[in-house]
Structure 1
Amino acid sequence: MHDNVVIKQRINAPVDKVWSAITNRSQMKDWYFDIADFNTDLHTEFSFYEKDGENKYQHHGEILEVIPNEKLKYSWSYPEITKDKTIVKWNLQDEGDKTLVILTHKGLENFEHLGEEFSKDAFDKAWTKIVSIKLKNFIEN
């Protein structure tokens, strides 16, 4: 069984504005995470901890695919506790003055053994908050 999270959110902004919000580090830190070594060059690796300062889990990723204003795909892992990886993909659909954001987090079955904090439900709640509340509010307000 494949445990994928898929979040769809329409944002009242053109695709280039949404793209900038999900790829520009100075904007990302206001709604997502402050990722000092983030950029969209292929195979760039980046690491960060939770925004709340707990530094509970190191998150690690590698940029796997970039199509400007359309797709951003990267690996997602927690190297301090497992070698397993998942894939996060942001797809943007240009709808003129609006953008449909489709976030897919694939391979969550790889994290099942890590407990409830890493369950599909936990990721579903977290990504829903990140995409449908934080990103949407950051761009629209």
Structure 2
Amino acid sequence: MKVNEIISVEQQFNLPADRIWNAITNINEMKQWFFSNIESFKPEVGFKTEFKVNSQDRIFTHLWKITEVEPFVKIVYNWKYDTYPGDSFVHFELFKKEHSTILKVTSKVIESFPKNVPEFKSESCREGWNYFIKKNLKNYLENKEY
């Protein structure tokens, strides 16, 4: 992924915004659909966390820093990796629509990621967000008892 590249994914849920917000900001819920090995997470500006994800023979140490929080509306992470160049911001935004909520996730690259690493290709990023939001999160929320 290169500088100024933007990847965006949207999913509509027949749930109130607070349910979606909890799923994207509560570590216990995030572990169910996002990354099971997140060690800590708080939806607070300045909060930092890191965790490792293995992919074939590569280790990706995710470095997240929360840069913006508007409860039940938006949370923004600075998202980069420990041993790879590249930098991005990921926006999770909630929009109320009648009796449902739309979650829009947008990844904006501010420093290019390596071209020779398959996980950093645009298609891989798009597929990853579709997997997390349109499959995992959707299944998680639709099958959760409230």
In the superposition, the TM-score normalised over structure 2's length comes to: 0.87
Q: Which of 111, 116, 119 in structure 2 is aligned with 1:117?
A: 119
Provide structure 1 residue ranges, at least 5 long, that are not aligned to the other structure: none
Contact 2:16/2:99, CA 8 A, preserved across alignment: yes
CA distance in 2, matches of 1:42, 1:48: 19
CA shift in 2, pair 1:112/1:13, >3 Å? same
CA distance in 2, matches of 1:11, 1:51: 30
Helix, strand or coil: the match of 2:59? coil
Q: Which of 29, 32, 45 in structure 1 is aligned with 2:31?
A: 29
| AA matched with 1:107 | V
Q: Could you tell me how far 1:81 is from its partner in structure 2?
A: 2.2
Contact 2:54/2:60, CA 8 A, preserved across alignment: no
Contact 1:35/1:47, CA 8 A, preserved across alignment: yes
CA distance in 1, matches of 2:116, 2:73: 32
User: How much identity, in percent, do the aligned residues show?
Assistant: 29
Counterpart position of 2:92: 90
CA shift in 2, pair 1:55/1:25, >3 Å? farther
Q: Which of 3, 6, 11 in structure 2 is aligned with 1:4?
A: 6
CA distance in 2, matches of 1:19, 1:51: 27
CA shift in 2, pair 1:128/1:89, >3 Å? same
Normalized per residue, the structure richer in strand is: 2
Deviating beyond 2 angstroms after TM superposition, the runs of 4 or more aligned structure 1 residues are: 49-52, 112-116
Helix, strand or coil: the match of 1:57? strand
| AA matched with 2:128 | A
Write out aligned runs for 1:41-80 (5 A). 41-50=44-53, 56-80=59-83
Normalized per residue, the structure richer in helix is: 1
Instruction: Kindly provide the CA deviation profile for residues 63-101 of structure 1, in whole angstroms up to 9, marking residues without a partner as x.
Output: 00000110010111011222x310000000012431101
| AA matched with 1:136 | K
Helix, strand or coil: the match of 1:49? strand
Aligned residues: 140
CA distance in 2, matches of 1:92, 1:80: 32
Q: Could you tell me how far 1:55 is from its partner in structure 2?
A: 7.4
In the superposition, the TM-score normalised over structure 1's length comes to: 0.89
Helix, strand or coil: the match of 1:132? helix
CA distance in 1, matches of 2:9, 2:15: 18
| AA matched with 1:123 | C
